[in-house]
Chains A and B, each alone.
Chain A
Amino acid sequence: MSTTTGFAEEATTSPTSPIVHLDDVGKSYGNVHALRGVTLAVRQGEITCVLGDNGAGKSTLIKIIAGLHEHTDGVLSVNGEERRFSSPRESLDSGIATVYQDLALAPLMSVWRNFFLGNEITKALGTMDATKMKRIAHEELTKMGISIPNLEQPVGMLSGGQRQCIAIARAIYFGAKVLILDEPTAALGVKQSGVVLKYIVKARDAGLGVVFITHNPHHAYLVGNHFVVLKLGRVSLDTHRADISLEQLTNEMAGGSELEALSHELRGVDPELVVERVEGNGQVAVESPLDKGAG
């Protein structure tokens, strides 16, 4: 808890003042407190990693910043000004772009239509300038190193990594100052995750403040400047990269003592054991050390 208040003080005195600042923010759904007393600062050119297990409140936190849910307690300020977002549009207009887990891409629509969705370039009478939009989409995607030969292809036919990159490229192109990434690597393979992490660093180098939400401490430690660990809707750790090692982060993230207990429990399991099927009745004939323990 002391780290939290320490960071809050530092946030107000630091030379690079935070673009987005959350002070003691909470969200309750009736009697369910999904998030309590969260303090967080997002600065330009920094990657803030928010870690936590499933149900720790990560999604609720980003939904507040992205304008999908209003917070019920505390203060959310953007550029030092107190804000309360009632729609994603307001959040977008303040320069906060969110790339969701489900990517916010319409699967049946083509790549270029998705790229410009909500920000269409129009000529007279609300007509879209399709040629210009296709050209820009192609340029921006090439800049990010993504090659999509046919921009008319429906987004649903692309791979997860490609879709992720389209969503990130879109957010950067539309002048986001803060980029929120909700578990961008969760559903990706090793190589694709690497590509996405590279784009996250590119976004940081472009001067954006990045909030990287993940439950993978390895991915977070590869790129993060600052780490916030959520547990049961509260901040359980808040620290700079300099003050923590990957082991400590993993340990903290996995719940420290809980992991200890789990590894103790799993110690009895023989990982080399191969289970064999007995032909005929289909019964599994094996003596598991776990069964022994339980019995």
Chain B
Amino acid sequence: MASTLTAPPTVDDRVSSRSLGARLLSRPEVGSLVGAVVVLVFFLIVAPPFRELATTGTILYQSALIGVMAVPVALLMIGGEFDLSAGVAVTTAGLTAGLFSYQFSTNVWVGVAVSLVVMICIGAFNGWLLMRTGLPSFLVTLGTFFILQGLNLGVTRVLSGTVSSNSISDMDGFSSAQAVFASEFKLGPLNVKILVVWWIVFVALGTWVLLKTKVGNWIFAVGGDAAAARAVGVPVKRVKIGLFITVGVFAWFSGMHLLFNQAVVQSGEGVGKEFIYIIAAVVGGCLLTGGYGSVVGSAIGALIFGMTQLGVVYAGWNADWFKAFLGVMLLLATIVNLAVKRRADLR
């Protein structure tokens, strides 16, 4: 049998360049985008009020309530860690500012600043303990979750005698703080809550940090392979502690919205929210194991959550169904995510 020889090509031609479409499909957030469109179309069909433009503002607000926290949670997950205390930390932030301002009769902005310091400390503590002990973040933050939940209820009861913080609506600086954290404005037929604007700003900022900056490169690296990152000189501990502090700062912001929206904060609030944030991030394409994901995806995940939550109500169904419906939606979105990613990688 004669063997034929061909001159080896000078350029490796085994990898053909991929089309723009294929490259777009391999983005982490594509699966969630498909999921979001499916949810949107579904509710446009079954829930008539969903088609009205005015409800868009409400849906966006509902999504922003989750979306603002989903930004740091997604970054943290890409960095390879979890924070189960993120939900109750929001309540802690609101209570700290409310109770401090009330008890010391200060301008509310003083309470806001104190709360920020406390939240940075909580985030730093989570990160430091994790780095110090090397325990899984699941365990460490589960501990913080219970500690904060207990403190929220206990301290509030001691100081105000009830299950919520005292109303601070008549205190100095309340209206200016409300303008920053919890106001709303009209945009054509839409009532836009300022939180939605902040959400968009935070998503843009988070995406820029993650994709365009050195720190973003480090976040991917510490989540993808912490040992490899350390070996080439990435300060792994500082990056991870920084991510936990970021969660703390965003929890502070969300807590401020909670406080200035109602002037009081219920001390039992926030339990279970941490999973919603994590789910939004995962639906948005973040890998549970870290090293891969997107901030924009987390926003789409939050949007799916918001649409489903309100869609069930607008469709005239009992709200009891919401959780089951949500679970199905999330599973579907994640499966679509996986399938799209596999297909895109093969192209």
A interface residues with partner B (beta carbon < 8 Å): 66, 68, 87-89, 92, 98, 100, 102-109, 113, 116-120, 122, 125-128, 130, 147-150, 152-153
**Interface residue? B203 (CB, 8 A):** no
A104-B227, A106-B291, A149-B11 known; A118 vs B232 contact (CB < 8 Å): yes
A106, B221: Cβ atoms closer than 8 Å: yes
Which of B12, B221, B233 sits near A88, CB closer than 8 Å? B233
A109-B291, A149-B15, A149-B17 known; A120 vs B228 contact (CB < 8 Å): no
Chain B nearest CB: distance from A267 CB in Å? 39
**Interface residue? B53 (CB, 8 A):** no
B217, A120: Cβ atoms closer than 8 Å: yes
Chain A nearest CB: distance from B295 CB in Å? 16
Nearest-neighbor residue (CB-CB) of A98 within chain B: B231
A117, B229: Cβ atoms closer than 8 Å: yes
* B12 proximity list for chain A (CB < 8 A): 147-149
* A89 proximity list for chain B (CB < 8 A): 233, 235
What would 4 more interface pairs be, CB under 8 Å, given A104-B227, A107-B291, A109-B217? Answer: A107-B225, A128-B212, A130-B212, A150-B17
**Interface residue? B213 (CB, 8 A):** yes
B interface residues with partner A (beta carbon < 8 Å): 11-12, 15, 17-18, 23, 212-218, 220-221, 224-225, 227-235, 287, 291-292
27 contacts between A and B (CB under 8 A): A68-B231, A88-B231, A88-B233, A89-B233, A92-B232, A92-B233, A102-B228, A104-B228, A105-B228, A106-B229, A108-B220, A108-B291, A109-B220, A117-B217, A117-B228, A117-B232, A118-B232, A118-B233, A122-B214, A126-B215, A127-B213, A127-B214, A128-B216, A149-B11, A149-B17, A150-B15, A153-B15
* A122 proximity list for chain B (CB < 8 A): 213-214
* B17 proximity list for chain A (CB < 8 A): 149-150
A68-B231, A149-B17, A150-B15 known; A125 vs B213 contact (CB < 8 Å): yes
* B216 proximity list for chain A (CB < 8 A): 128
* B292 proximity list for chain A (CB < 8 A): 108
* B224 proximity list for chain A (CB < 8 A): 106-109
Nearest-neighbor residue (CB-CB) of B226 within chain A: A106
Chain A nearest CB: distance from B29 CB in Å? 15
* A100 proximity list for chain B (CB < 8 A): 228, 231
Chain A nearest CB: distance from B126 CB in Å? 23
* B218 proximity list for chain A (CB < 8 A): 117-118
A106, A118, A150 — which one has the most chain B CB atoms within 10 A of its CB?
A106
Q: What separation, in Å, do the CA atoms of A87 and B228 have in the docked complex?
A: 13
A116, B228: Cβ atoms closer than 8 Å: no
B15, A88: Cβ atoms closer than 8 Å: no
A108, A119, A122, A126 — which one has the most chain B CB atoms within 10 A of its CB?
A108
Nearest-neighbor residue (CB-CB) of B209 within chain A: A126
* B234 proximity list for chain A (CB < 8 A): 117-118
A106, B11: Cβ atoms closer than 8 Å: no
* A118 proximity list for chain B (CB < 8 A): 218, 221, 229, 232-234
By Cβ-Cβ distance, the 10 closest A-B pairs, closest first, are A106-B224, A118-B232, A118-B233, A104-B228, A104-B231, A120-B214, A89-B233, A108-B291, A106-B225, A126-B213
Nearest-neighbor residue (CB-CB) of A106 within chain B: B224
A120-B214, A127-B213, A149-B15 known; A113 vs B220 contact (CB < 8 Å): yes
* A106 proximity list for chain B (CB < 8 A): 220-221, 224-225, 228-229, 291
Q: What separation, in Å, do the CA atoms of A125 and B214 have in the docked complex?
A: 9
Q: What separation, in Å, do the CA atoms of A117 and B223 have in the docked complex?
A: 13
A128, B214: Cβ atoms closer than 8 Å: yes
